[in-house]
Structure 1
Amino acid sequence: MPIVWEPRPRLLAMLTCGSMLFSLLGATAGHSASAQPSAPVAADPVAAHRPPPWRRLMGVMWFHRSWTRSTPLPHHLAVRALRAHDVRWRSSGGCSDRDRVDCTSFEGIRWGTIATVARLRRASGCPLTVSGGTERGHAPGPLSHRRGYKIDILPDRCADRYITRMFRYVGERGDGAELYRSPGGVVFARESGHWDITVP
């Protein structure tokens, strides 16, 4: 039976810390906003988006500062990153075994791939559900699911509209999937049952 991961509340200790950070940030936000001119609009809303200060500060409690786009993550840390940005994930087989085609696994997925989905969620405001990661059953290649460069999300009216309007249409893939590319080089392929996202 399919499982759908639902975001769970943060730990009480983190919430307490978060409320303290809120009060500190609130005291300085107004001053900094009035003293500095507004920043220009970014060319790539996904690549340029940054989560609000309170989430960034809480994130450093468990996101290692030395991680880069190419850092491979264990499954549980990838899940925590998705959870922190209210991104769901599901498995048709109700499992996370990387060697089973009916599972959804994030074992070995690159940090840049997970971060792109998190930024897409924040920039679009759309509910996102991941349906494919590094598990067996995807096409091989240098920028493949298995190597951590790809991730699948389920189609959604809100996400479909955002991707097709915000990113440039660049033609069709060999299998007929429509391709959209962000200014940062992320490619979104609209396959029959999901969006296939490649993060170089």
Structure 2
Amino acid sequence: MTATSPFCARWTRLAVGAAAAATVVLSTAAGATDAIAAPAAASVYYTPAQAKAKLREAGITWRSSGNCENKNKNGCTSFQGIRKTTIDGVIALKRTSRCTIVITGAAEIPPHKTTGTYTHGKGYKVDVALNPCINRYIPQHARKIGSATWAAGSVEYLRESNHWDIKYKGSGAGSTTPTNRAWPTLRAGSRGPAVTTAQQLLRINADGRYGPATGRAVKTFQRKHRLATDGVLGPVTWQHLAPTLRSGAHGGSVKALQAQLRRHGARIAADGRYGKATTAAVRVFQRKHRLAADGITGPTTWQRLLTAN
């Protein structure tokens, strides 16, 4: 034992030294990881300047009773710590509803609830001022889950006395608006019923083929509505092209709707009049596809009509 003691002692010192070195290396690596991970974590948020720029570009305004932006002060409207999905969700709501959107509360803490996961202070919620357009749109395109609460996907809408309290729980822009299926993307070479519907809405020859004439018509429409003029009919262009239709509407857009309903089995005439028969057919389609059966053809119903087999 005595002969091996120096060896054991040296081994112990080496082991302790190695452990200490490992601790230093791991600590340094952890610090480096934190340094690298911080931007990734921050990337789920917009800075206040970024949020404001995005909202201005979309035509959305904001206000506060205290004319201030302090996150910790009552009466302010702050975008400090606002999540990207929240801002992107409000912008999507603006585009699909075509309503005036005024934000009256964002990521500030008082006077909002501070406990729980999906709070204002954590950047998941915004308050939007009431107005007749948005007051109609939300109940028509979301399902009622409470006396004054509606839901669509991972978004919840609570109507309060002077604003809508909107909670964006989703992780991506696709789940931040009252829609549950993507719009079809059409471009040169596309063909089929969705192309025919687009042509009818554009009021051009509806042959179901996305040729040069359709591409030109899409570009003209995009320029008129100040959209990216690429000739591709994607989600943003669809949101401007497909109107919300209800009982009493008439014209080419109604004919396009009726043609889609007939494709899905409705026995109605494509006469361009949104009467009782068309309303009933829309309700049947909505019930079949588990949508709010209100008889109104909004973005969600259009999306399902265009994409369902």
Kept after mapping to 2: 8 A contact 1:67/1:111: no
Which residue number in structure 1 is paired with residue 76 of structure 2? 103
1:158 aligns with 2:133: yes
Paired position in structure 2 for 1:187: 156
1:159 maps to a residue whose letter is: I
Matched, 1:112 2:82: no
The Cα of 1:95 is off from its aligned counterpart by 1.1
Q: CA deviation at 1:192?
A: 1.1
Superposed CA deviations along residues 67-92 of structure 1, whole A, max 9, x for unmatched, are 99x71121111111111100010011
The higher relative CO (CA closer than 8 Å, separation ≥ 6) is in 1
For structure 1, which runs of at least 5 residues remain unmatched after alignment?
1-65, 173-177
Q: Distance in 1 between matches of 2:40 and 2:138?
A: 27
| One-letter amino acid of the structure 2 residue matched with residue 156 of structure 1 | N
Unaligned runs of 5+ in 2: 1-38, 170-309
1:170 is aligned to 145
AA partner of residue 156 (structure 2):
V
Name whichever structure is richer in helix by fraction.
2
Indicate whether 1:139 and 2:108 are aligned: no
- 1:197 is aligned to 166
Which amino acid in structure 2 is aligned with residue 77 of structure 1?
Q
Q: How far apart are the structure 2 equivalents of 1:116 and 1:163?
A: 13
After superposition, the Cα gap between the structure-2 partners of 1:67 and 1:111, relative to the gap in structure 1 and judged at 3 Å, is farther
Q: Would you identify which runs of 4 or more consecutive aligned residues in structure 1 move more than 6 Å?
A: none
* 1:136-189 superposed Cα distances (whole Å, 9 cap, x missing partner): 2110121100001111000010001000111111113xxxxx11111x220000
User: TM-score by structure 2 length?
Assistant: 0.40
Larger Rg, first or second structure (1 or 2): 2
Cα distance in 2 between the residues matched to 1:76 and 1:100 = 19
Please give the residue correspondences for 1:1-200 in structure 2 after superposition, counting only pairs within 5 Å: 71-137=44-110, 138-140=112-114, 141-172=116-147, 178-182=148-152, 184-200=153-169
Q: Structure 2 counterpart of 1:139, which letter?
A: K
- Structure-2 separation of matches of 1:125 and 1:80: 19
Identical positions, percent: 38
Partner letter of residue 113 of structure 2?
A: A
Structure 2 counterpart of 1:151, which letter?
Answer: V
Structure with the largest fraction of strand: 1
Question: In structure 2, how many angstroms separate the alpha carbons of the residues matched to 1:72 and 1:101?
Answer: 22
Name the TM-score, length of structure 1 as normaliser.
0.61
Match of residue 53 from structure 1:
none
For residue 103 of structure 1, report the CA deviation from its aligned partner. 0.8
Distance 1:136 1:166 in 2: 29
In structure 1, C-alpha distance between the alignment counterparts of 2:56 and 2:82, rounded to whole Å = 16
Q: Alignment RMSD, CA only?
A: 1.7
In the TM superposition, residue 131 of structure 1 has moved relative to its aligned partner by 0.2
In 2: Cα distance, 1:89 partner to 1:197 partner: 15
Distance 2:132 2:72 in 1: 31
Indicate the SS of the match to 1:163: helix
Aligned positions, number: 128
Amino acid at match of 2:142: F
Which whole-Å CA distance do the structure 2 matches of 1:115 and 1:152 have between them?
14
